[in-house]
Structure 1
């Protein structure tokens, strides 16, 4: 059962749908305070988790570091810069039969996959040279 779309949740969703930077909860908090100065960081975290549970957004977890959030829930891949930590969408087609190939390899049912590429972004590469 979907939860009621509160003013806070709607603001968070709009922030995520209008950015491609895959922000942290802290970044979302700073943006939300421009519209809702009374909003708390706890409210941000609670609403992010509700939006994830309702499949309105994606949570991108990277080990022990903080999560990033993505307002684009359509299947797509990500690139993570190992130097600066930036997360970017990869503009390429999703390999449609990858779930089937993996399911055959594990002799099971694969429901979905998440794929990230790692390397150095263009800005970090320029600084390195």
Structure 2
């Protein structure tokens, strides 16, 4: 079944690209209702899922955090500030064959990896 792109689909995609901050679904919704107060939270959630399925954005899962959505779809690493929780892109080459160095796979067939570095961002560091 071919799914057509809707105005809401485009609005949600634009919001993710505009925010560029690895926003949560709620943050994206809160951004959208500023200019489109009639858009529902369910519409935003459904379109985020569709955008992920279509490869327009990527879902980023960070343990202990709500899902975040990234406008950059290529494989890359992230850093999360342990003070404010903000998530940043890390400027380093993605290691494509890292899984090959796993000594005991415990029967897993590895299909990729996500790494989130942790630390204190510049803004929080300046507050110390």
8 Å CA contact retained: 1:77, 1:116: yes
Moved more, 14-23 or 86-95: 14-23
Residues 3-12 or 80-89, more deviating: 3-12
Match of 1:51?
Answer: 51
SS in 1 for 2:117: strand
Tell me, which stretches of 5 or more residues in structure 1 are unaligned?
none
Q: State the TM-score, normalized to the length of structure 2.
A: 0.84
Q: Give the alignment's Cα RMSD to 1 decimal.
A: 2.0
The structural deviation recorded for 1:19 is 3.2
The 8 Å contact of residues 55 and 73 in structure 2, kept in 1 or not, is answered as yes
> What's 1:113 paired with?
113
CA distance in 1, matches of 2:49, 2:119: 29
- CA drift of 1:66 comes to 1.9
The runs of 5 or more residues in structure 2 that have no matched partner are none
Counterpart mapping for 1:3-22 below 5 A:
3-22=3-22
Work out the CA distance in 1 between the residues paired with 2:92 and 2:2. 32
- The two structures have a TM-score, normalised by structure 1, of 0.84
1:79–1:88 CA contact under 8 A, matched in 2: yes
